[in-house]
Amino acid sequence: MSIVEMIERLGALVIDGVAQLGAFVLFLLSAVFYVFVPPFKPRLWIRQTRIIGADSLFLIVLIGAFTGMVLGLQGYNTLRRFGSSGALGTVVALVLVRELGPVLAALMIAARAGSAMAAELGSMQSTEQIDALTVMAINPVQYLVSPRVLAGVISFPLLTSIFDVVGIYGGYAVGVGLMGAPAGPYFNGIAAAMDSHDIMTGIWKALVFGVVVMWVCCYKGYHAERMATGVSRATTEAVVLSSVLILAFDYFLTSILL
């Protein structure tokens, strides 16, 4: 391969990458734009909020409880070495509210609701249901994507808050109930050490993760290839990319909000 051919291929790759990135960003802008453009379909985003939010509740409670229990166990054993087991509540709450709550809740929702969303839209793409909407003069982004993005923005902070609360009680059950950490300082310490900035840090992260997960999962499903492996590939890519972006955005948001 000559140098000119190599440069041509490299150039083609760069152009293709920039075009895909542009399409990816425009997809989100379009979805957000159509949230504010009539006709408004409240039943669509209520349905999506139920699918993303209510249907994920059991999973979020389960994971939140076990996460808090592990934090209670590890936190108690670590703090006891320094004679600080009274700070267990503060540690569990801060770790959950600022960091683990938004990240783990987002990863769980991406795995459960995000993958289902990518598969559903991918299936609709491969069976021409999205084309059918277009031919009926119904904007498919407005009908399919905007309600999901809006539902994500509503559901993620709510689910994250539930995850945090359940996790704090899980930490209490194990740290105080099982391991014998002092009960009084657990909740008193949380009230004293945690302020609104800590809570808002978690909420902002949940909001951003909500948009990111819905954006990625809808994009991947919407643009699934019309072939046998198209839906499965779209679903896998949606979950992997969502997870990577959740962790990457978590770092940048933590840097900004610290």
Partner 1 sequence: MSETEINHSDGNGATVADASSGGNAIEVRDLRKSFSHQQVLDGITLDFPAGRITTIVGPSGSGKTVLLKHLNLLLRPDSGTIVIDGVEATKISGRALDAVREKFGMLFQAGALFDSMPIFDNVAFPLVEKTRLTTPEIAERVHETLRAVGLEGMENKFPSQMSGGMQKRAALARALVRHPKILMLDEPTTGLDPTRTGAIHDLIRRTQENFQLTVVMVSHDVPAVFEVSDRVAFLHNGRTHLNGTVAEVMAADDEVFKRFLAGKASGEDEAAVAG
Q: Please say whether the beta carbons of 202 and 98 come within 8 A.
A: yes
Stretch that binds partner 1, among 122-130, 173-181, 210-218, 233-241 (CB under 8 A): 122-130
Stretch that binds partner 1, among 69-77, 95-103, 125-133, 204-212 (CB under 8 A): 125-133
Q: Is 128 in the site for partner 1 (CB under 8 A)?
A: yes
Q: Using CB under 8 A, which of 17, 131, 180, 192 touches partner 1?
A: 131
Nearer to partner 1, 8 or 252 (CB): 8
Nearer to partner 1, 181 or 231 (CB): 231
Please state, in angstroms and rounded to a whole number, the distance separating the CA atoms of residues 187 and 201. 20
Q: Is 8 in the site for partner 1 (CB under 8 A)?
A: no
Q: Report in angstroms how near the CB of residue 16 gets to partner 1 at its nearest.
A: 12
Q: Please say whether the beta carbons of 190 and 89 come within 8 A.
A: yes
Q: Using CB under 8 A, which of 6, 54, 132, 192 touches partner 1?
A: 132
Nearer to partner 1, 77 or 127 (CB): 127
Give the closest residue to 207 by CA, choosing from 144, 143, 257, 140: 257
Please state, in angstroms and rounded to a whole number, the distance separating the CA atoms of residues 182 and 186. 7
Q: Is 127 in the site for partner 1 (CB under 8 A)?
A: yes
Q: Report in angstroms how near the CB of residue 53 gets to partner 1 at its nearest.
A: 18
Give the closest residue to 23 by CA, choosing from 207, 222, 210: 222
Q: Report in angstroms how near the CB of residue 137 gets to partner 1 at its nearest.
A: 4
Stretch that binds partner 1, among 78-86, 121-129, 200-208, 239-247 (CB under 8 A): 121-129
Stretch that binds partner 1, among 80-88, 132-140, 182-190, 212-220 (CB under 8 A): 132-140
Q: Using CB under 8 A, which of 30, 74, 84, 129 touches partner 1?
A: 129
Nearer to partner 1, 23 or 183 (CB): 23
Per-residue DSSP letter, 40: P
Per-residue DSSP letter, 136: T
- For 22-30, the CB contacts below 8 A with 24+ separation are 24/219, 27/141, 27/145, 27/215, 27/218, 27/219, 27/222, 28/149, 28/211, 28/215, 28/219, 30/141, 30/145
Residues whose CB is less than 8 angstroms from the CB of residue 205 and which lie 6 or more positions away in sequence, other chains included = 102, 103, 106, 160, 249, 250, 253, 257
Q: Is 228 in the site for partner 1 (CB under 8 A)?
A: no
Query: For residue 147, is the peptide bond before it cis, meaning its omega torsion is within 30 degrees of 0?
Result: no
Binding marks (x or -) toward partner 1, 134..173, rule CB under 8 A?
xxxxx----x------------------------------
Instruction: Note the maximum CA span of the chain.
Output: 74
Q: Is 4 in the site for partner 1 (CB under 8 A)?
A: no
Residues that bind partner 1 (CB under 8 A): 123-124, 127-129, 131-132, 134-138, 143
